[in-house]
Amino acid sequence: MKLARLLIAAVVLAGLVGLLYWSNRTEEAKATKGDPKAAPKILDLKETDIKQIEIRHRDGETTVVKRDGSGKWTITAPQALAADQSAVGAVTTAVATLSSDRVVDENASNLSSYGLDPPRIGITLTMADGKTHVLRIGEDTPTDGGSYAMLDGDKRLFTIASFGKTSLDKQSKDLREKHLMVFDQDKLSRVELEVAGKPPIEFGRAGTDWQILKPKPMRADGFQVDDLVRKLKDASMDTETDPKAAATAFASGQKTATAKITGAEGTLTFEVRKAKSGTTDDYYAKSSTQDGPYKVTKEIGDGLNKSLDDFRNKKVFDFGFNDPNRIEIKDGAQSKVIEKSGENWTSGGKTMDSISVQNLIDKLRDLASTKFVDSGFTTPVLELTVASNDGKRTEKVQIAAAGANFLARRENDSSLYQLDANAVTGLREAAAGVQPAPPPETKDGKKK
């Protein structure tokens, strides 16, 4: 009896194992074959093998872009133009693996009724091996918001989604490089700016730090210079403005500013002019790397209309967010030296209260001019010395009274920084407020 039950159990187990094996094989087969209801791909190409794209518009221009040996795209028709690599890349990505929404007809005829003969948009892809693939895009479908499409050599009539058509419906104005200057901002060594009615300014860069070279050597506000460079890099043409109208407006416009940048690409120039358009001002720009002037945004026009003081470093100290290692303050007959020792601040052999020292550091860091003046510095009432960057940077500053305000002068710097009286008062109070650290408490809660 037991043997019979054992045999029955073995048979049942074998059946279950077989059923599980058959089920797994069936699922694998389905996965391999894919979903039979899924819409088929129209094209399935290797994107990097596409070497040329020709986009023909039935009622417009024919645009051709070619990829050179380095992988860079250029526009060759309707005229030679620099290409926006990202814009062309988006087209190649969209067309290389173009999927359909559905198959309308397995053996289509009378293609003209779908807007496919001639096509509304014709796209010819030339591959690295010389083979070509011709895609036709026709009229919009009446119901689902898509468009009809066919591939030469394939009898099937497809529909594609509207976004698929939009991603391929491009002309030279969509694919061209719209930036008026293309450059590597990290490799710039010099920037020149000449604003109408103002003295020319020249900036030089050593490492990552910008300095004003002309009209005379001065400390520069690196953030402001970088912002100027960013505006030049971001300056883009308005391709919707008629080129002839832009050329006329530029020719008759008032010169606003001219910028020159020197870097890995050599020296590039950029000129902005302002022209009246009704009650508003429009800006037009021309660069040495693009044909003809183009309309640009007001942000670009206003962004270049800067004066020397806009680019000067108004901070009295350069240590920034790197905390000092040593601070020396001489206020009349009073003097104080505070040094960093490990994690502590010390003065006269005593450990100082870190919160009060940090308050002093913040006041030094925030010390900035309200404006620059050319004269008026008299006898110093405050002398400050700050060492930072592990002692590699030492900054010495003298402060003198000047009427209701004060003037600051850095060592080896002819600039005079006018300071608000409240800022100097706050600095003095912070210096006086640096006190020894309170003694630590004992286990019974009493201070030593």
Which residues contact residue 93 at a Cβ distance below 8 angstroms, ignoring those fewer than 6 apart?
A: 47
Residue pLDDT, tens place only, 331-376: 988 999 999 998 999 999 999 999 999 999 999 999 999 999 999 9
Displacement of CA 320 from its chain's centroid (Å):
24
* Residue 78 preceded by cis peptide, ω within 30: yes
Strand partners, 53: 65, 125
Average pLDDT over residues 50-56: 98
Angle at 214 between CA 212 and CA 219, to 5 degrees: 25
Number of neighbours of residue 6 by Cβ within 10 angstroms = 10
pLDDT at residue 257 tops 90: yes
Residue predicted with more confidence, 323 or 227: 227
Q: Indicate the pTM of the whole model.
A: 0.77
Number of neighbours of residue 26 by Cβ within 10 angstroms = 10
Give the model's pLDDT for residue 3: 52
Q: Which domains does the chain have, with CATH numbers?
A: 47-175 (no CATH), 185-311 (no CATH), 326-432 (2.60.40)
* Residue 118 preceded by cis peptide, ω within 30: yes
Average pLDDT over residues 121-141: 97
Number of neighbours of residue 322 by Cβ within 10 angstroms = 12
Give the model's pLDDT for residue 82: 93
Which residues contact residue 423 at a Cβ distance below 8 angstroms, ignoring those fewer than 6 apart?
A: 363, 366, 367, 368
Task: Give the Cα separation of 421 and 404 in Å (integer).
Answer: 7
Average pLDDT over residues 250-263: 96
Task: Give the Cα separation of 151 and 440 in Å (integer).
Answer: 84
pLDDT at residue 99 tops 70: yes
Q: DSSP alpha helices (H): ranges in 169-287?
A: 172-175, 222-234, 243-252
Structure tokens at 12: 């049942």
Find the distance separating the first CA and the last CA of the chain, reported in whole Å.
Answer: 92
Structure tokens at 265: 């690409």
Task: Give the Cα separation of 132 and 25 in Å (integer).
Answer: 39
Give the model's pLDDT for residue 440: 74
Angle at 66 between CA 62 and CA 69, to 5 degrees: 175
Structure tokens at 36: 């039979």
